[in-house]
Structure formats: C-alpha cells, structure tokens
Structure 1
Amino acid sequence: MKNRFIQILVLSAGLYSCHQKNHTAENIGKPKQSVLVSQVSAYADKATKERYASAINSFFEKNFGSRGFNGAYLVAKDGAIIAEEYNGYRDPVLKTSALGEHDAFHLASVSKTFTGMAILKLWQDGKLNLDDDLSVFFDKFPYPGTTVKMLLSHRSGLPNYTNFLEAYKWDKKKYVTNLDVLAALYSYHPPLQFSTGKRFTYCNTNYALLALIIEKVTGQSYHTYMEETFFKPLNMTDTYIFSQADFERSMPSFEWNNRKYGLEFMDLVYGDKNVYSTVRDLLKWDQAMYNGKLFSEQTLQAAFSGYSYEKAGQRNYGLGWRLTEVDNGKKIVYHNGWWHGNNTVFIRMPEEKATIIVLGNKYNRNIYHAKQLCDLFGDYKQSHNLFQESESENTMATGGSQ
C-alpha cells in the first residue's frame, strides 16, 4: 500500500548505549537537533521523508528547545517509530542517570486509558454490564442511579475525592486508599456536583471506583489483573502499577523550578493514575487496539464514541478516552495527564494509525502542544489552533490528575 511505513531499523545495543552516554548537562532542556527518523517504504518519495523529519524537528525545537523539557517522546506511523528522543535525567537536579528507553514515567491520567479498557474487556467477556448500577458492586451505594458507564464517561456527578477529602479535613498524615475513597462517600456523603447522568464533569473518583469494580468482579487486585491481562501479554516489561513499596525505585517528579515532590497523602489511589510506563511500552498499548486480539470492534467503537453533547464544540469524552471530533469527520483519540510534576500526552489517530507520545517528569505545559503534530498525518486542523484547554477544566485544584 502507498505511503505505508516499513518497520524501523533496530539500533544495535552498542549504538544505543553510546547514544545514552552522550547525554550531558548541556543537553538538559535542549533536545538534539537530529531526531531519529526511520526509513520509509519505497512508495514514499524523498519529499515525504523530508517533510516528516523537518516537521518533527521543528516542532520539538520550537516547543522544547530552550524550555526545560525533561522527558521522552516518540512518534510512530503504522507501528513503526519515526521519531524518538530521551532528553535529560531521572533526577534533573542531581543529574546522575540519563533518561533511557527503560525509564518508566508516572502516566498520571493517561492511566485512565488502561482502567477504562480493563472495564470494557470485562464487559466484552460478559463479566459485567455497562448499565449496572453501582449498588451491584457496592452494597447500598449512597448515590442511586449511578452506572458503570457514567463512571467511564465522567457523567456520574460524583464529588471528586481530590477536593472533598481536604474539605472534610482528612488527616494528611494518613495515606488515602481506594477503599478510603469509597468509604468516604458513605461516611461524609458529600453532595453531587450535579444530578447523576445529567452532564460531563471530569472526576477522578469515577476511576478510583472503577478500579475497585475490577477487583470485585475478577477477585484479583487491580495490580495483578492489569499485569496478567495487559502488561505481560503485550510484553510491556517496563510498565507497572505504583504502590508504596515502589517509591524508592520509581521516577521522581519535579516542579518547573526543580522542587522535588515526595510521597503525598493521595498518591496511593490507583485507577485514575499510578500506571508507570515508557514511550515504547505505550506504543505496544497503542498497537494492541488494532489487531483484534484483545478488543473487538464493538468494544473499540464504544470506547472511542462521544457521550457528552450538551455543549457545542470539538472536545468530547468516550469511555476512558478524550476525543477531538473535527468538523471534517476526523477524530483524535487521546488522553492527557498531570499529577505533581508529571505531564503526559498519549495521542492516537486510528484512521492513519499514527501515534504521538510525550512523557515528562518535570512540569512543562508545552507538552500539551503535542496535539499540533496531528496535522503531520492528516487534516486535523490543529496546527493553527494551539492546544490550550484550560487547566481549570482538565485538572483538579490539588495539582491533580488530568
């Protein structure tokens, strides 16, 4: 087929090792001028190759060249990596270990794509119904009429634990668990943000509860289910679910001014966040949604359809995925993340089978501009419309999870 990419030539281990050793303090905040661009098939002419290389180089130099980017990015087409770079250090203050392909970043709310697809897998396998009331899983759930689908699509109206726990004077010396979030809904019974099912409002409580539903239905921990259902079968060897025991080995995160985050009281809640992964493992996750082995076409259609049309505009939310529905009929399937100093972007263009992934552990809002690169692959009308969704819309007051 025309304009198809062949598989990227694999760099030798020695070559990669040399590449990593060449990272020095001078590289921090300034990605290399030469981005790795793969060979293109014989059907792609020289002009096409040069267009990809020039556009990707220009984008990352403009947005990250002198703006303190500490992280990794990967751009792929048809499963082949066409651009990949690791810039900076695991700890940008100490600068003792240069970032490489096996360094896993906190995905923040990109984690929701895993939780959402895990629920849909259970639905696909006949283990639950999306219209099940939460009382099916949690006895006498205090907000009747709330369904699984409402959690997935952020239409539940439930109060956000990242806000109400502090409002009800949670002891910050005690780490919050998912069960604590559930128990607090019973004991505090904070008011709904709006009538259940009426509209969309992004809420991390939804996905903390979905993780508990996964555990209830499977009889396994969320960590075990994700490992056995997704990470191992997809050979995502550098991906894991964070727990307190992982604190010392996990990638630390930093504010833009290099202030380092410690372990804070809401950091152990999972489902809405706490998947750690790499750009290459996320590409494997991306590709798993094409081959039909894990998910049926019906499941993917449910995941990538919009459910909130109360307001006019391009932005919508599916079941675990953000959507940009362009006027010309094209659709971007993606998710952003922000938790503490971690910024993440995971963008999929199913029509072109193109993928853009940017992960950082030092706060840098320019990471969210990655959506502009979509126009490299199709007419998504993003390059003239800077991706500047307001932080108040996408994040919580606590520096929360997008």
Structure 2
Amino acid sequence: MKNIVRLLLILLALESCARVNNKKVTSGPMNAGDTASLPAAVPLTPEEISYYKRMVDSHLDSTLGRTRFNGSVLVAKNGQIVFEEYTGFVDPRTKKDSITPSTPFHLASVSKTFTGMATLRLWEEGKLNIEDPVSKYLAGFPLEGVTIRTLLNHRSGIPKYDHYMGEMGWDKRKMISNQDVLDFLIANYKKIPIAQPNRGFSYSNTNYALLALIVEKVSGLPFKDYLKKTFFDPLGMKDTYVFTLADSARYMPSFYYSNREYRFEFLDAVYGDKNVYSTVRDLLKWHQALQKENYFKKATLDQAYAGYSFEKPGTHNYGLGWRMYLLKNGKRLIYHNGWWHGNRTSFYRMVDEDAVIIALCNNDCRYVYKVKELADIFGDYMQQHHRYADDEPTQVARAERPKRSSKSPAKKKSSTRRSTARK
C-alpha cells in the first residue's frame, strides 16, 4: 500500500500544465526513450512544481504578458517541465498555424552553443587541438596568432563579417556562404580593421562562421550533417536542424514587432554563428545532455564554462561557446542570448541546480531577455541587479522595465495573455 501511495505521489509530481494558445496540454519529463542517456533526477514534489509554476507565471504576466510576444517559453528543473507555454502563430499576420511544441525557431546566436561544443567534441576525440593556429585547418588563412581557442572565446581580433563585407564592396544581391567569409577575409585582411589576437574580448560572428568551416574540414561532413549525427539524432532532437538554402520553403520567417516580415537577405545563409532552428523542448534535451556526467568530459566543460576576458572588471564574461555571469557570491549563470532579424532567443542554464529557462520568439519582442530574472527562483543569481545581456542591440540594453498596470495581477493574467495569443 505504501508503495502505491508513493507511486501516485511521483506521478503527480511529474505533471505540470502547459498551454498551447490557451489550450492545456500535459507535460513533464521527456519521454523515456529521450531520457535513456540522461542522468537520473529526483522528482519534484507537487508543492515544488506548484511553487515554480506560480513564480514563472507571475513573472511572465508582468513582462511578456504585456507585449505582443509571439513564441514559446519553457522552464524546467531536474529534467521536469514546470512551466511551458506557446503563444501566437507561425505567421502573426494571418493568424494561422498556431505555434506548438514542434514549431522550430531560428535560434540566432544561441546556435553558437552547438558550434562551440561541436568543436570541443572534435578536440576530445583528438581530431584537432584548440591551441592550434587556424591556418593549420583553413588553407590561406592569413592571420598569425589566431588559434581555434581565440575563435571560441571571441579574442581573435577579427570584426564581424556581417558589418564589413557589405561595407567593403560585397554584392548584396549575392548570398554569402561560409567559404565566402573566409575568402573575403583572405583577400581583404589588410583593409579590414583587425586587432591583435588575444588582447581583448570582441564579440564577432566571423569567429563562429570560421569554426563551422573547421568542423567541416576535420569531420569530413557538412556542418548540418555533423550536428545531426553528433547531437540532434542521438539526443532525440527531432525538430532541430541547421538551415541551408534547401530549407527555404520550410523555415519559419521572422517579423518586426509591427508584424511586417523581415526580408531574406544576403547574410542569411551563413551558419555556425546562427542558423540552427530548434524548439524549447529540444533545447531542454540539449541542456540535459550537457548536465549528464561524461557526455562531455568534466575538464572540457570546465574549459567551456571558464571566463577568458578580464581586461575590464565586471560579472559578464565569455567561455568557449557560452556567455556567463560570474557573480560575486560564487555562482555562475551559463547562458546565451540571440538576435537575428525578428528572432530573439534566451537560453539560461543554472547548472548547479539543473534548471533551465528557455524563451524563443520570431516577432522582435525585446522583453524575451527578461526571462533571465527567473534564475533567482532556483538560487541566488542576483538577477535583480543585472541589465540585459551585452551582446544585444543598444536599444535592448537600455530598455526600461515596462510599467505595471493599475489592474490587479489576477485580472491582468486572465486578460492579457489570452489576448496576446489572439493577436
């Protein structure tokens, strides 16, 4: 009898409520087949699930709930989904095709977490050395002192190709490929304002476009196939893929906040720095895999989650494919944000507590980055003292918190989030 009662309590703990455009669906841990290779976790109690869900719901009600947010949000602890919501439509203009758990969003710079870890996987396998010069792998690369590590931690000194190529004569009617990024750098490096390597941090998409080429060179596979074979398929990330021009008919477009569509442009085919499409549930699987003992060696993760840039004091830093807050109380918040066209994404990981906060949107809703404040419900991450991530546009970094409505929280919750789904 005691065993039956215990089983019932565990089953209750595994359930939480998610909403797909205000329709309730059952959610909880991932399917057994998806978690076979993941670490065992202590089930949350019904009281813990209720607490986390209430806290997340209240926070989103006062932030995203007051906007036109079009996207998905998932919060999980110990592999259990404690909050999940899908709001809006694939195309917010037509209000058709509701966003669902299987709707993949452009991850923008969150894609760098896959590129970085793919590089580190090849390092673990002895197929490359991150201390090697880039010229060892990319023929004609002209810059001495630039290593794979300085690409990973954004200390190469190479500026953003998405800034200088268009300004230096690239025909914007022609799509740029990753090889074009390399070839243009080789042909124009004396004209490009390149800094001395390893002198300071300078966030640059060029670094990760080049890393994708190195992954291809070393693995012998197209980048999209390497990620699929190495990460997506083994982890059951069925709705995740690397965009190429062959996917032009199926990708989800992005929009301005006014619902005007962003046009496809000459920069949109480069991958490694961006162009992974995924869902909140698949990103939960990615987080859980990285939590698993021996999925990556501890020494590798220690390198990935270490800060490398201390020229300026502060809590912000960058590892190998990951941003982080190195807090005064000793805590580390491992994360990456993204912004590309109307795609804004947040992926915050509390590795000590095995908790993750994920928010994805495709309509340029800048308040998606405020989900990081939810970190404090899992531990003392001091988020009330931080502003927006510093890799986001200036207007986001300076954005003020939205004013609270005079309506009671309960009334706001019952009206705003439902109306958001209808817009």
TM-score range for the pair, normalised by the shorter chain length: 0.7 to 0.9
Partner of 1:84, secondary structure, is: strand
CA contact (8 A) 1:202 1:394 kept: no
Aligned ranges for residues 270-289 of structure 1 at < 5 Å?
270-289=271-290
Q: Which residue of 2 aligns with 1:60?
A: 60
Deviates more, 1:131-140 or 1:201-210: 131-140
TM normalised by structure 1 equals 0.88
Q: Which runs of 5+ in 1 are unaligned?
A: 396-402
CA contact (8 A) 2:141 2:182 kept: no
Residue 385 of structure 1, CA deviation: 3.4
Change (3 A) 1:311 1:134: same
In the alignment, structure 1 residue 176 sits paired with structure 2 residue 181: no
Q: Which residue of 1 aligns with 2:416?
A: none
Partner of 2:348, secondary structure, is: strand
Change (3 A) 1:394 1:117: farther
Residue 10 of structure 1, CA deviation: 6.3
Residue 314 of structure 1, CA deviation: 0.4
Residue 348 of structure 1, CA deviation: 0.4
Deviates more, 1:334-343 or 1:253-262: 253-262
Partner of 2:96, secondary structure, is: coil
Q: Which residue of 1 aligns with 2:254?
A: 253
Q: Which residue of 1 aligns with 2:269?
A: 268
Change (3 A) 1:384 1:50: farther
Q: How far apart, CA to CA, are the structure 1 residues paired with 2:42 and 2:207?
A: 44
Q: How far apart, CA to CA, are the structure 2 residues paired with 1:385 and 1:203?
A: 23
CA contact (8 A) 1:111 1:274 kept: yes
The alignment-based identity, stated in percent, is 47
Residue 69 of structure 2 aligns with an amino acid whose one-letter code is F
**Which digits, 9 at most, give the CA deviation of each residue in 1:106-143, with x for residues without a partner?**
00000000000000000011011111001101234211
CA contact (8 A) 2:70 2:92 kept: yes
Partner of 1:357, secondary structure, is: strand
Q: How far apart, CA to CA, are the structure 1 residues paired with 2:125 and 2:95?
A: 47
Change (3 A) 1:130 1:394: farther
CA contact (8 A) 1:343 1:363 kept: yes
CA contact (8 A) 1:35 1:85 kept: no
CA contact (8 A) 1:77 1:354 kept: yes
**Which digits, 9 at most, give the CA deviation of each residue in 1:332-384, with x for residues without a partner?**
00000000000000010111000000000110110011110000000011034
Residue 44 of structure 1, CA deviation: 4.6
Q: How far apart, CA to CA, are the structure 2 residues paired with 1:347 and 1:243?
A: 27
Q: How far apart, CA to CA, are the structure 1 residues paired with 2:10 and 2:132?
A: 44
Q: How far apart, CA to CA, are the structure 1 residues paired with 2:281 and 2:395?
A: 26
CA contact (8 A) 2:316 2:325 kept: yes
Q: How far apart, CA to CA, are the structure 2 residues paired with 1:234 and 1:302?
A: 23
Residue 160 of structure 1, CA deviation: 1.2
Q: How far apart, CA to CA, are the structure 2 residues paired with 1:122 and 1:394?
A: 38
Q: Which residue of 2 aligns with 1:104?
A: 104
Change (3 A) 1:221 1:318: same
CA contact (8 A) 2:14 2:43 kept: no
Residue 355 of structure 2 aligns with an amino acid whose one-letter code is A
Q: How far apart, CA to CA, are the structure 2 residues paired with 1:36 and 1:261?
A: 34
Q: Which residue of 2 aligns with 1:316?
A: 317
Q: Which residue of 1 aligns with 2:70?
A: 70
**Which digits, 9 at most, give the CA deviation of each residue in 1:2-23, with x for residues without a partner?**
xxx9686469xxx99xx65xx3
Q: Which residue of 1 aligns with 2:405?
A: none
Residue 173 of structure 1, CA deviation: 0.8
Residue 272 of structure 1, CA deviation: 0.2
Deviates more, 1:201-210 or 1:59-68: 59-68
Q: Which residue of 1 aligns with 2:223?
A: 222
Q: Which residue of 2 aligns with 1:369?
A: 370
Q: Which residue of 2 aligns with 1:344?
A: 345
Change (3 A) 1:157 1:43: closer
Partner of 2:98, secondary structure, is: coil
Residue 391 of structure 1, CA deviation: 3.5
Residue 113 of structure 2 aligns with an amino acid whose one-letter code is T
